Structure 1
Amino acid sequence: MVTTLLAPVGDAPWSTAEFESRLRAVPEERYHDRHAFNIRMHSGALSRAELRCWIANRFHYQRHIPVKDALITAKLPTPALRRMWLRRIQEHDGLDEGEGGIERWLRLGQAAGLDRESLLRGDAVLPGVRLAVDGYVNFCRLRPPLEAVAASLTALAAPDLMRTCVDAFERHYPWIEPDGLACFRSRISEGGRDSSEALRLVLSWACTRDDQERAVAALRFKCDVLWALLDAVAHAHCPEGS
């Protein structure tokens, strides 16, 4: 009698609707808008020094977004996909000098009283923030396209957070020049479009339960990166003269 050994069969994939629901649940439960520091910021409870510390360290994250997007672009298999993702780099870096999201964040720093050259040098960047940002960039460098793109799905929650930021800054921090808030306003529309594009890719690429679970885990990792950034800022000593 011959016994045939069958390879174990993994769990069946979730339906597209269930998979999308699980992806959306991650930022709903773990996005950094729930962090105590962000809650304090949005309620107007931060000192000038604390807010400047956040801007300087968030800028370190923002300036690395086009770097991670370049790494993702290099992994994409078709010209159409690369063109689509390349637009993200152009929006952050600008097509010309003095344009783009990075420039808008520099102007937010200047509107808050920070020195532009100090921001570019990263003088105030905390070790924990460097570690978190390096971890995210290296994740996009080393992981396959599915996971790298899935990690970007924190953008699902970004438009609402950007609206909250604009309202909080206008209401509670009038000492910041209004023009500095352009970095938030631009991401309201960009974040919605970017998340829709990335979600379509992830839903189409993740064909097995293992693929789907790795995509959800990648999104959890990205939420942890943003949470760790705020942990570092929240525990920093921010003297009023900074």
Structure 2
Amino acid sequence: MIPTATLEDRLRTVARERYHDRHPFNIRMHDGTLTPAELRRWVLNRFHYQRHIPVKDAHITAKLTTPALRRSWLRRIQDHDGAADGEGGIERWLRLGEAVGLERELLLSGDGVLPGVRLAVDGYVNFCRLRSPLEAVAASLTELSAPGIMTARIAAFERHYDWIDREGLEYFRTRVGQGSRDSAEALALVLEWARTPEERQLAVDALAFKCDVLWSLLDAVDGGDRP
């Protein structure tokens, strides 16, 4: 079991050591060796994850027991859905798709999403729907590593993929600040809620599960055209 004093260190270690920035596909992306077709495949399949972020956050919001907590988590839904049409993270990802040469209608249709990606995303949404608030919030702590990967990704895209319109990278730029804010809030909740050794282990296991979800998504994308 994990002592209280080391819970934050353990969570940060899991987020650092098991995050998908270490995946071979992501390494190739940042090294600039992906083909345009590979990059488009990633954008298309990753959008299936992006569009389900507000869905999983709605499940988490429904579990929270105070107005203050619900207001705080509702902001995450608005960050992705926007306050109006043409705003938010999902819209910015659609613009990234257009910047790499994909029609937004294709992204919105879901055509071409790989089975392994669907399975990984469904697993994460159902985890947040069925598990405790502690586990659902702890799973979001992959955001501890998100600002770093977003910063690296912006630099890599600008250096290696000059055929992509720079305005299409706005999703990554926005998530640097949002990820730092969201991870700090979620970490504070987990450290407050995980009072027993069993609860602290559940938090670490939930974060490890989320890391596996993101890794599995890239495994599917890296597999290419396999059915």
Specify if TM > 0.5. yes
Partner residue, 1:159:
147
Partners in 2 of 1:188 and 1:127 — Cα distance?
29
Partner residue, 1:61:
49
Q: Contact 2:4/2:200 (CA < 8 Å) preserved in 1?
A: no
Partner residue, 1:15:
4
Partners in 2 of 1:126 and 1:234 — Cα distance?
11
Partners in 2 of 1:234 and 1:225 — Cα distance?
14
How do 1:92-131 residues align onto structure 2 when only pairs under 5 Å count? Answer: 92-131=80-119
User: 1:32 pairs with 15, 20, 26, which one?
Assistant: 20
Runs of 5+ consecutive residues of structure 2 not aligned to the other structure: none
User: 2:122 pairs with 117, 126, 134, which one?
Assistant: 134
Which amino acid counterpart does residue 78 of structure 2 have in structure 1? Q
Cα distance, 1:208 vs structure 2? 0.2
Partners in 2 of 1:164 and 1:60 — Cα distance?
22
Identity of aligned residues (%): 69
Partners in 2 of 1:193 and 1:76 — Cα distance?
19
Which of the pair has more CA radius of gyration? Answer: 1
Which amino acid counterpart does residue 151 of structure 2 have in structure 1? R
Partners in 2 of 1:93 and 1:124 — Cα distance?
23
Which 4+ stretches in 1 moved above 2 angstroms? none
Partner residue, 1:206:
194
Partners in 1 of 2:77 and 2:4 — Cα distance?
32
Partner residue, 1:43:
31
Partner residue, 1:4:
none
Runs of 5+ consecutive residues of structure 1 not aligned to the other structure: 1-10
Residue 174 of structure 2 corresponds to residue 194 of structure 1: no
1:105-157 Cα deviation digits (max 9, x unpaired): 00000000001100000112100000000000000000000000000000000
- The structure in which a higher percent of residues are helix is 2
Cα distance, 1:28 vs structure 2? 1.0
SS in 2 for 1:37: helix
Coordinate RMSD, CA, aligned: 0.9
Cα distance, 1:100 vs structure 2? 0.2
User: 1:89 pairs with 72, 77, 85, which one?
Assistant: 77
Partners in 1 of 2:10 and 2:217 — Cα distance?
24
Cα distance, 1:82 vs structure 2? 0.1
Partners in 1 of 2:134 and 2:109 — Cα distance?
33
Partners in 2 of 1:163 and 1:123 — Cα distance?
30
User: What TM-score do the two structures reach when normalised by structure 2?
Assistant: 0.98
Q: Contact 2:61/2:70 (CA < 8 Å) preserved in 1?
A: yes
Q: How many residues of Structure 1 are paired with residues of Structure 2 in the alignment?
A: 226
